[in-house]
Structure 1
Amino acid sequence: MSEDMGRRERKKLATRQALVDAAVELFAEHGFDETTVAQIAERADVSTRTFFLHFPTKEDVLVGSSEERLEIGLRALAERVPGERPDDALARAMRLMIDDRRPGEFGLGRVRQQIARTAPSVQANIMRRRFEAERMLTAGLLRSFPDDLDDVDASAAVAAVMAATHAAATTALRSGAGLDAVRAAMHRAVDIAILGTRRSG
């Protein structure tokens, strides 16, 4: 039974990756707005219905593994280390999310940034998901440190770190930096954001 489930999961992941690859190819060939869901499904050799089983919208093809990465951060916050400060816990969670390596994610991130410059719907989807991630991480931080933080403290800390890492990644990608340099820039951003919250506290 577990072997069958493993096979189904591998097939699901392979189909999802095929859709992402097809979408990226078509976006490069025809542009984001000109590419349809039907074209993506056809290029990946699946039905349009299968596309929507994996992605709610065309914009979501560019999201990658953001949901899985968010789960890593939430688990890290839930596994509070004895004696750990809230800002240290948040920094640890962010670093684990940054260091999560998945095949193709870096290239997809570069493509996502390029398309977002000219496609408002992609930019809006990125912002919506970022705000949702901030909300969930804030809730996770509050659950782990109910006696140390209030809603304002937690939301401000999470928003500061998320904004800093996003800005660092965007700046590094625009300069043509490779994967390791982008990750290093994001780690520096975590340091800057956390040090800033400590100086003001």
Structure 2
Amino acid sequence: MPRSTGLREHKRRMTREAIVRAATELFTGQGFARTTVADIAGRAGVAPRTFFLHFASKEDVLFHHVERYVEIALARVAALPDGTTPWEAVQRAVESLVDALNVAGTNIDALAPVRVQVARESGGMPPSLAVRLHGVQTRILDAIRARHPGLDPVRCAAHLGACVGAVSAVASQGEEPPSARTDAMRHAIVLASAGFTAHSGAPTL
């Protein structure tokens, strides 16, 4: 990689991190609704137009972590041993997304409570999360289909969607301590997998 390209990428990453840091401070300090893009840009030391080079909206900042976590899920799928069924691969991939949110049972994402509050106030899944989850599911599905070329894509997509939906439903509750919520998410994945395979003709996990 040319040095100039590397420097530009480094500057871009540092700017993005500054925006996320500023937004986190403002969202947790004065609330999501009271925070504007101009507030975030000012705290980060950038122009509002620079903010929009990195994020489509202030809501989009709430889900800045998703891309990093999907890379972990894809790496886990790639590392699965030969003989792993596609249904097991789906479950392992979604479990890895849950595991990436936590280290030793401690939630590492300071914006998690803000996301829960926004979801509750909006009465459903925020649009930015819906878009990102679609991207996550597409990338994971492509990775699993690459391992299993003859896989029925519709059935696999349905299974993956069931697991991701179950995790999202548990995450939106936000009442339990982080470690308990993680356990509940993992249990939801097992239940979604069992329910799907029992009614789809797929091998039981």
Report the count of equivalent residues. 196
Equivalent residue runs for 1:1-201 within 5 Å: 9=10, 13=13, 15-28=15-28, 31-101=31-101, 105-119=108-122, 123-147=126-150, 149-171=151-173, 173=174, 175=175, 177-200=176-199, 201=201
Aligned mates of 2:80, 2:29 — CA distance in 1: 47
Contact 2:26–2:40 at 8 Å: present in 1 too? yes
Give, as a single letter, the amino acid of the residue that structure 2 aligns with 1:100: A
Shift, 1:82, TM fit: 0.9
Shift, 1:29, TM fit: 5.6
Quickly say closer, same or farther: Cα 1:180–1:28, change in 2 above 3 A: closer
* Unaligned residue ranges in structure 2 (runs of 5+): none
Give, as a single letter, the amino acid of the residue that structure 2 aligns with 1:198: T
Give me the TM-score of the superposition, normalised by structure 1: 0.79
Quickly say closer, same or farther: Cα 1:12–1:120, change in 2 above 3 A: farther
Quickly say closer, same or farther: Cα 1:169–1:118, change in 2 above 3 A: closer
Aligned mates of 2:33, 2:119 — CA distance in 1: 11
Q: Spell out, residue by residue over 1:65-103, the C-alpha distance to the aligned partner (whole angstroms, 9 max, x if none).
A: 101111222233334421111111111222222111579
Higher helix share: 1
| Larger relative contact order (CA 8 Å, sep ≥ 6) | 2
* Unaligned residue ranges in structure 1 (runs of 5+): none
- Which secondary structure state, in structure 1, belongs to the residue aligned with residue 126 of structure 2? helix
Give, as a single letter, the amino acid of the residue that structure 1 aligns with 2:26: L
Quickly say closer, same or farther: Cα 1:91–1:109, change in 2 above 3 A: same
